[in-house]
Amino acid sequence: MTNYQRQKEYFEQEQGFRKYDHPIVATFARQRIEHINTFIPLNNIKNALDVGCGSGFSTYYMHEYISNIWAVDQSPRMLETHPLKNTEKLKLGDALNLPFPENSFDLVYAWEVLHHIPEASLAIAEMARVSSKYVLVAEPNPFNLAQFLFALVDRDHRWVLRYKLPYMLNLFETVGLQVEHSSSGGWIFPNKTPALILPLLKKLPYQSPIGISNWVLGLKN
């Protein structure tokens, strides 16, 4: 079984994932989206696509800013339990072959998806194809100690170690996207952070070079 097949099977099992409306998941998502809103005026985005939506919280909370939002995932089970329940806008598909025409969305984004895909540059190129303006990617930050240790002990997440910001910037530039923003930050793991320390983590400055995530925003020329 290949690494890609193992990861697909892992997500099909849906074990250990908190629900989209769990307070820690909600805090994680809303903090992240508030940060994104500082460099993308989300209220001006007419439509968006969530690539690799998984359990759906990345779509659900972005929907608070963008009413016309679509999602795609390779797992039928994930789509069946997606919180938005809109079958027309939930599509079964692969990040390397998105089921949409060119220039379909103002914003195409993926949260912690690329490190599961061997051909990351092809996935970004495909996201750029269906975008008319922005491509946004968030990936685990290997300079965060927890992310680093997790990548060391879990072979299916070993690729996290390469997702330093320079590597991500190079991926965007390779497919012809103009980098508009890059940053690091966040402290809350949606599925792992204990409730006991959530109040403390919420008080920390959100942006940090050792936060759990890296973000890169690209503009389509």
Residue 96 CB neighbour total at 10 angstroms: 14
* Contact indicator for 79, 92 with CB cutoff of 8 Å: yes
Whole-angstrom distance, CA of residue 5 vs CA of residue 180:
34
Domain total for the chain? 1
In which residue ranges of the chain is pLDDT below 50?
Answer: 1-4, 6-7, 10-11
Q: Given this model, what pLDDT does residue 221 score?
A: 86
* DSSP notation for 2-46: -HHHHHHHHHHHT-SPPPTTSHHHHHHHHHHHHHHTTTS-GGG--
Separation in Å, CA 106 to CA 122, 167, 201: 20, 24, 32
Q: Residue 149: exposed, middle, or buried by beta-carbon count in 10 A (0-12, 13-18, 19+)?
A: exposed
Q: Given this model, what pLDDT does residue 18 score?
A: 92
Q: Which amino acid is at 195?
A: A
The parent domain of residue 19 ranges over: 3-220
- Residue 70 belongs to a domain with what CATH number? 3.40.50.150
